[in-house]
Each structure stands twice: as structure tokens, then as C-alpha cells.
Amino acid sequence: MELKNVTLEKKERVAVVTINRPKALNALNSETLKDLDVVINELENDKDCYVVILTGAGEKSFVAGADISEMKDLNEAQGEEFGILGNKVFRRLENLDKPVIAAISGFALGGGCELAMACDIRIASEKAKFAQPEVGLGITPGFGGTQRLPRLVGLGKAKELIYTCDMIKADEALRIGLVNKVVPLENLMEEAFAMANKIAENAPIAVKLCKDAINRGMQVNIDEAIAIEAQDFGKCFSSEDQKEGMNAFIERRAKSFQNK
Ligand code: CAA
């Protein structure tokens, strides 16, 4: 299928997904969400890709939200359907079997902030700005914001941001734990690649199982969570990379992981 608003490039073990609709500040319409869904299919099947960087085209905006011109005339059922589409795609991204780093240049608003939150790690430029402006448009956040924001920054701060629509700068986003790191705009992709490459040096099956244990474990009680960790820990021992990693340590040689 031909992609209209999303591009996918590969650089060795790292894939770069770009939301590419700069005329609308990369706003997410249904077409863009469907493109992203197709790209996720590709990434799922790509055993040579260990880490994904997700970014937006241009320097002004990561993603300025869901597309307001597409949403404005929706009725209740259509609104729900649009929310379900966005949530389905974002959940697939969150559950992708490799880490996803959001590289956020500028605006990450509404669905854009929600997209960033569905990624594992967020690196923001000093120029990035974040908000959930939905209630100012007469709607709730619809692509996971009411759920992921409190999980990331705590209940009180999430409610403040969602009820007020306050737009916060990168330094405040860092302070409240919404982003992992803030870097100069000109270094954004370099920093994202540096982190991606560092992750890609480690055993990909182990990284994948860490993501699984963290994501699933955070949704259940601590006893079930520890049981999930035990299972994932056990699974590592059926991988060749576990033997390689431990033998390389014992033999004091460089390791060479094969994603097997
Ligand atoms: N949807 C559709 N188009 C958008 C858009 C959006 N979310 N954000 C920006 N655009 C379009 C503008 O309409 C404009 O298009 P035209 O040139 O054809 O008029 C173009 O992008 C450039 O935008 P501006 O002229 O507005 O640029 P600016 O520099 O003056 O302002 C901005 C930038 C502050 C980001 C402003 O565009 C803005 O406030 N955008 C909307 C942000 C927003 O409210 N996002 C949340 C959407 S709701 C949502 O996401 C729901 C959900 O949870 C799923």
C-alpha cells in the first residue's frame, strides 16, 4: 500500500518513522493513522530492526494533534470510531516488540502529545511544546491522553494540564517527567540515534522482553507483575543471545548478538 503521510527509513538497526504532513503541522487525520498502522505492520515483521525513532517532518511541529477539520462535523458514533482508530494504532505502537523513541522537535499537542506518550522514551528539543488542548475544543483527549498522562506525570498534574489546556515548554515537561531528555533542536536526531544505537547494541530479545514485562506488569498487581517478569526472565534462557552474552562475559571477549 502506498503511504501518503508517513515515511519509513532504515539506518542499520534503527528505523525512522516520520509523520509527514507539514502543511497541517503533521496533524493526524484518518489517512495518516492508517499509514502509521501499515508502517507498524512492516516494523513488526522486520527482524533486522531493533529500535524505532518516531518523529514529525519539519522543525515546527512533532504532531499538532488530531485533525480538527476532519473531526469538526463528526457525530457521536463517528467520534467514537475516530477515537477507536487512533487508540488502536497507538496501542499497537506501544506494544510493538521493539522500543520506540519519540524525537519531538516542536508542537506535541493533543493527539501529538498522546502519540509521544505511546512511545517508550521521549527526547524533546528545547523548542518543543506540549499540551492537551482538547477541552478548549469541546472534547476530551481521545487517543489515550486521559490514561497515559496520569500514568506518566501523576494524577494531579495530568488533571491540571487536561482541565486548563496549559501549554508547557520542554524544560517543564522534563521536570514533570513527561519527557526523558531535552536537547538543542539541531542535535535532536543525533541524540535520538545515539540512544537508539546504544539500545541496539544490547540483546534485542532481552530488550523486547523487558518492554513486555514493564508494559504488562504496570497494568496488574505486584504479584502478577513479578510473575510476568519471572516468565520473561525464563524466556531469555531459550535464546542464543543469552548464551552469547554470558559466554562473552566469562571469556572476556566482545559479544555478538544475533537476535536469536
Ligand atoms: N488539525 C488540523 N489542522 C491543523 C492542526 C490540527 N490539529 N494544527 C494545525 N493545523 C493546520 C492549520 O489549520 C494551518 O492550516 P492552513 O495553513 O491550511 O490554515 C496549518 O496547520 C498551520 O497552522 P497555524 O496557521 O495555526 O500555525 P500557527 O503557528 O499560527 O499555530 C498551533 C500553531 C499553535 C500549533 C496551532 O496550529 C494550533 O493551535 N493547532 C491546533 C492544536 C490542537 O488544538 N490540537 C489538538 C487537536 S484535538 C486532538 O488531538 C484530539 C485527540 O486527543 C485525539
Check whether residue 83 and residue 209 sit in a common domain.
no
Q: With 90 as the cut, is the pLDDT of residue 23 above it?
A: yes
Our answer on whether the CB atom of 117 is closer than 6 Å to any ligand 1 atom is no
Compute the average pLDDT of residues 203-228.
Answer: 98
Q: How does pLDDT run across 28-42, given as a tens digit for each residue?
A: 999 999 999 999 999
The CATH number of whichever domain residue 232 belongs to comes to 1.10.12.10
Q: Is residue 259 part of a domain?
A: no
Residue 134 appears among annotated catalytic residues = yes
Q: What is the position in ligand 1's atom list of the atom closest to the CA of 111?
A: 50
Our answer on whether the CB atom of 107 is closer than 6 Å to any ligand 1 atom is yes
pLDDT at 2: 87
**Residue matched to cell numbers 528545547:** 126
If one residue of 5, 61, 67, 68 were mutated to test the ligand 1 pocket, choosing by the most ligand atoms within 8 A of its CB, it would be 68
pLDDT at 169: 98
Task: Cell numbers for 98, please give them.
Answer: 521493539
pLDDT at 87: 98
Tell me which of 31, 42, 80, 114 is the catalytic residue. Answer: 114
Check whether residue 120 and residue 32 sit in a common domain.
yes
Q: Is residue 222 part of a domain?
A: yes
Q: What are phi and psi of 101, to 5 degrees?
A: -105, 125
As a whole number of angstroms, the distance between CA 108 and CA 26 comes to 10
User: Which domain covers residue 207, as residue numbers?
Assistant: 202-251
Q: How does pLDDT run across 127-137, given as a tens digit for each residue?
A: 999 999 999 99
Q: What is the dihedral of CA 188, 193, 194, 196, to 10 degrees?
A: 130
Q: With 90 as the cut, is the pLDDT of residue 1 above it?
A: no
Check whether residue 113 and residue 159 sit in a common domain.
yes
Q: What are phi and psi of 13, to 5 degrees?
A: -85, 0
Check whether residue 38 and residue 64 sit in a common domain.
yes
Q: How does pLDDT run across 146-161, given as a tens digit for each residue?
A: 999 999 999 999 999 9
Check whether residue 210 and residue 190 sit in a common domain.
no
Check whether residue 105 and residue 219 sit in a common domain.
no
Q: What are phi and psi of 191, to 5 degrees?
A: -70, -40
Tell me if the pTM is above 0.95: yes
| Beta-sheet strand order (sheet of 6-11) | 6-11, 14-19, 51-56, 100-104, 121-125, 181-183
Q: Give how far Cα 92 sits from Cα of 26, 36, 45, 96, 114, Å.
A: 20, 10, 13, 6, 13
pLDDT at 80: 98
Check whether residue 39 and residue 119 sit in a common domain.
yes
pLDDT at 249: 98
pLDDT at 242: 98
Check whether residue 139 and residue 227 sit in a common domain.
no
Q: Based on the structure, what is the number of domains in the chain?
A: 2
Residue 70 appears among annotated catalytic residues = no
Residue type, 257: F
Compute the average pLDDT of residues 79-108.
Answer: 98
Check whether residue 165 and residue 37 sit in a common domain.
yes
The CATH number of whichever domain residue 53 belongs to comes to 3.90.226.10
Check whether residue 207 and residue 189 sit in a common domain.
no
Check whether residue 35 and residue 116 sit in a common domain.
yes
Average pLDDT, the chain: 98
